[in-house]
């Protein structure tokens, strides 16, 4: 097995035993990126020299016998809306195309301290506003399972990089599903932590009451190991939770016997793709066979999550993005007056989707509309939270589909914003409630596209999510990679049948 084919946990064990060096590991991924990146377009900034320097530093420390993090020497990629000192951070926008932050986000600082070499910054929808990574100012990212399809968004670059083995670990951000939805469409594991569990300091804000940073990995064990590095209290983030961080890895082997799982009816609606319904139900049947109890439950206010999210998210986006005015930092377009300069800067610096949400948010915060829409949305958000509190009195966790359909074709929804927004209908209410939620691979469609099972737990129960996802991997088989040829080319339709267990194989309709 090649080094780039291994999970982060497998690489960690090899590194700790000194069977390979950090430089060898990083070099393997640099070569992998060189072979596949020109077609996938997962990265906006590639930093091979910096990653090798960081790997050499880890090897020197290991040679001297210094104590190291279990993941020291395992490389990572960072979503490009998370600040990295001295390294370009663009938010995939013309507005910040040349912005170099003077500081690291807290999550990045923790990863550097733990000795994880940074391979680069991943592509995303502009300012994390989108569901397909097509609104990036630079270029769209392609799904490694099918180059004609989207990887999801907004963390599409991170999801595609992990799926294609360009990096074993990735940081993403999730406002309304931007970790979980691309994780499902690319066949990887993605966690949205409890709001406040991971510091938001250094995450360039979209919607401050919703934004989170979280891990994207191939397996649940990798996610548990990675999450242990970035979770914890941060005085630099006023929304950070001052709660002890458990050992997530210790919780992996608990199994599911006796767990009460609520199948959310609204996350398995009749209009969903039948193959998604089949895969999710099959996964839950397997959990039942291993001792879990599964019963249906309703979250009655889920029907309002889409409008509530876009009212609150757009209003907060309009406020947060007001700082990009051409005066302080970022792009500056010429103008005869400050007003003209600012108008030209914002008009040319932001793409269509960002402008759409700024205009909507500005309207929603106006004197005439604020009480009618924004205040009402916050009231309904409280009802959504109450639905979760009620459900968690009966169930240990909730389950359903992560997305209503597998990955869609590039360009098929770019002129249909409402259809694009619909792809997040399963992930929005968790974000509004602030609870932790994880997407785990649970099968492939008949055409070989990944399908995700979404698991949701009470606040601060991320370990439970990793535990259930890990159990699912034991019965389904370790999540499979896209069928990439050894030479680094991506196989086309008709050749896309990876060797895997029958449970992770393609599904038939119905």
Q: Say if 370 falls within a structural domain.
A: yes
Length reported for the chain: 510
Confidence band for 259, pLDDT divided at 50, 70 and 90: very high
Looking at per-residue pLDDT, the higher value among 491 and 480 belongs to: 480
pLDDT for position 509:
30
Query: Residue 44 above 90 pLDDT?
Result: yes
Given the residues 12, 69, 79, 158, select the one marked as catalytic.
79
243 touches 460 (CB < 8 A): yes
359 and 390 inside one domain: no
Domain boundary among 377, 394, 422: 377
- Structure tokens given for 27: 């070099």
462 touches 449 (CB < 8 A): no
422, with CB counted inside 10 A (0-12, 13-18, 19+), is middle
What are the angstrom distances between the C-alpha of 16 and each of 28, 63, 118, 167? 18, 11, 19, 19
pTM of the shown model = 0.94
CA dist 503 and 9 (Å) reads 23
Query: Residue 30 above 90 pLDDT?
Result: yes
pLDDT, tens digit, 9 for 90 and up, residues 124-164: 999 999 999 999 999 999 999 999 999 999 999 999 999 99
What would the mean pLDDT of 181-207 be, rounded to a whole number? 98
437 touches 469 (CB < 8 A): no
Query: Residue 502 above 80 pLDDT?
Result: no
Domain boundary among 360, 377, 394: 377
Q: Say if 510 falls within a structural domain.
A: no
pLDDT for position 510:
29
Q: Say if 422 falls within a structural domain.
A: yes
User: Could you identify the residue written with the tokens 């002890």?
Assistant: 244
CATH code, domain with 274: 3.90.1300.10
CA dist 452 and 461 (Å) reads 20
Task: Find how far residue 156's CA is from the centre of its chain.
Answer: 8
**Closest to 186 in 3D by CA, of 170, 208, 209:** 170
The residues near 472 (Cβ < 8 Å, ≥ 6 apart) are 220, 283, 286, 287, 440, 442, 453
pLDDT, tens digit, 9 for 90 and up, residues 428-468: 999 999 999 999 999 999 999 999 999 999 999 999 999 99
388 and 372 inside one domain: no
Task: Find how far residue 433's CA is from the centre of its chain.
Answer: 18
255 and 144 inside one domain: yes
- Strands annotated E in 1-117: 43-46, 76-79
Q: In what order do the strands lie in the sheet with 189-192?
A: 43-46, 118-122, 76-79, 169-174, 212-217, 189-192, 437-444, 450-456, 397-401, 260-264, 293-297
Query: Residue 489 above 70 pLDDT?
Result: no
What percent of the chain lies above the pLDDT cut of 90?
91
Q: What is the dihedral of CA 33, 35, 40, 44, to 10 degrees?
A: 40
Q: Domain containing 204: what range? A: 3-304+378-504
Full DSSP string of 418-434: HHHHHTTTTTHHHHHHT
Residue 17 annotated as catalytic: no
Cα Dmax for the chain = 71
CA dist 325 and 342 (Å) reads 5
166 and 235 inside one domain: yes
Query: Residue 486 above 90 pLDDT?
Result: no
Confidence band for 289, pLDDT divided at 50, 70 and 90: very high
pLDDT for position 49:
98
Residue 305 annotated as catalytic: no
491 and 345 inside one domain: no
260 and 398 inside one domain: yes
Q: Say if 269 falls within a structural domain.
A: yes
What would the mean pLDDT of 485-496 be, rounded to a whole number? 44
**Closest to 220 in 3D by CA, of 228, 210, 232:** 228
Q: Say if 233 falls within a structural domain.
A: yes
365 and 453 inside one domain: no
219 touches 499 (CB < 8 A): no
Domain boundary among 319, 351, 377: 377
Tell me how far apart the terminal alpha carbons of the chain are, to the nearest angstrom. Answer: 36
What are the angstrom distances between the C-alpha of 172 and each of 80, 147, 155, 252? 9, 21, 6, 22
Mean pLDDT is highest, among 153-157, 488-492, 506-510, for: 153-157
CA dist 51 and 55 (Å) reads 6
Neighbours of 492 (CB within 10 A): 11
Confidence band for 484, pLDDT divided at 50, 70 and 90: low
pLDDT for position 370:
77
pLDDT for position 498:
38
Given the residues 178, 199, 314, 445, select the one marked as catalytic.
178
333 and 238 inside one domain: no
Across the strands, what pairs with 399?
A: 263, 455
Number of domains in the chain: 2
CA dist 493 and 326 (Å) reads 46
The residues near 378 (Cβ < 8 Å, ≥ 6 apart) are 312
What are the angstrom distances between the C-alpha of 474 and each of 82, 334, 412? 33, 59, 36
- Structure tokens given for 368: 């005439």
Strands 212-217, 189-192: pairing kind: antiparallel
Residue 132 annotated as catalytic: no
Given the residues 154, 305, 314, 439, select the one marked as catalytic.
154
278 and 364 inside one domain: no
Average pLDDT across the chain, whole number: 94
- Structure tokens given for 258: 């006796």
370 and 423 inside one domain: no
pLDDT for position 487:
39
74 and 203 inside one domain: yes
Confidence band for 479, pLDDT divided at 50, 70 and 90: confident
Q: Say if 509 falls within a structural domain.
A: no
pLDDT for position 478:
78
Query: Residue 288 above 60 pLDDT?
Result: yes
CA dist 96 and 74 (Å) reads 29
What are the angstrom distances between the C-alpha of 328 and each of 50, 137, 322, 414, 469? 29, 21, 11, 32, 45
263 touches 297 (CB < 8 A): yes
- Structure tokens given for 42: 């997962």
């Amino acid at each position: 097995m090649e080094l780039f084919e291994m999970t982060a946990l497998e690489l960690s064990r090899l590194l700790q035993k000194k069977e390979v060096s950090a430089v060898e590991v990083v070099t393997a991924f640099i070569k992998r990126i060189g072979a596949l990146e020109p077609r996938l377009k997962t990265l906006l900034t590639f930093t091979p020299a910096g990653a090798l320097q960081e790997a050499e530093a880890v090897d020197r420390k290991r040679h001297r016998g210094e104590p190291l993090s279990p993941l020291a020497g395992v490389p990572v990629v960072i979503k490009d809306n998370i600040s990295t000192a001295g390294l370009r951070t663009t938010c995939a926008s013309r507005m910040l195309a040349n912005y170099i932050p003077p500081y690291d986000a807290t999550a990045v600082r923790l990863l550097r301290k733990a000795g994880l070499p940074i391979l680069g910054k991943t592509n995303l929808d502009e300012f994390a506003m989108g569901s397909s990574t097509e609104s990036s100012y630079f270029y769209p990212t392609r799904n490694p399972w099918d180059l004609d399809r989207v990887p999801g968004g907004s963390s599409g670059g991170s999801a595609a990089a992990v799926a294609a083995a360009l990096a074993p670990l990735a940081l993403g951000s999730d406002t309304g599903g931007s970790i979980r939805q691309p994780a499902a469409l690319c066949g990887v594991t993605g966690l949205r932590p409890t709001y406040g569990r991971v510091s938001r300091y250094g995450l360039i804000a979209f919607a401050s009451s919703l934004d989170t940073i979280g891990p994207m990995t191939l397996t649940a064990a990798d996610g548990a190991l990675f999450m242990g590095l970035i979770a914890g209290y941060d005085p630099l983030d006023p929304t950070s939770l001052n709660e002890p961080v458990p050992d997530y890895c210790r919780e992996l082997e608990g199994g599911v016997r006796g767990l009460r799982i609520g199948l959310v009816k609204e996350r398995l609606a009749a209009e969903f793709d039948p193959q998604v319904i089949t895969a999710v139900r099959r996964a839950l049947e397997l959990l039942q066979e291993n001792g879990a109890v599964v019963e249906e439950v309703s979250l009655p206010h889920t029907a309002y999550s889409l409008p509530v999210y876009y009212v609150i998210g757009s209003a907060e986006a309009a406020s947060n993005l007001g700082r990009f005015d051409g005066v302080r930092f970022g792009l500056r377009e010429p103008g005869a007056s400050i007003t003209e300069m600012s108008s030209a800067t914002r008009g040319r610096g932001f793409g269509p989707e960002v402008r759409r949400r700024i205009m909507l948010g500005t309207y929603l915060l106006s004197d005439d509309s604020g009480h009618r829409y924004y205040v009402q949305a916050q009231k309904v958000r409280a009802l959504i939270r109450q639905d979760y509190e009620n459900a968690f009195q009966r169930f240990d966790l909730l389950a359903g589909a992560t997305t209503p359909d597998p990955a869609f074709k590039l360009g098929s929804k770019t002129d249909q914003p409402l259809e694009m927004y619909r792809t997040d209908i399963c992930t929005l209410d968790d974000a509004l409630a602030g609870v932790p939620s994880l997407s785990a691979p649970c099968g492939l469609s008949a055409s070989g596209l990944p399908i995700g099972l979404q698991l949701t737990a009470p606040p601060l129960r991320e370990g439970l999510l990793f535990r259930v996802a890990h159990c699912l991997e034991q019965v389904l088989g370790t999540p499979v990679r896209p069928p990439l040829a050894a030479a680094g080319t991506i196989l086309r339709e008709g050749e896309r049948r990876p060797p895997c267990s029958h449970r992770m194989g393609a599904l038939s309709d119905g």
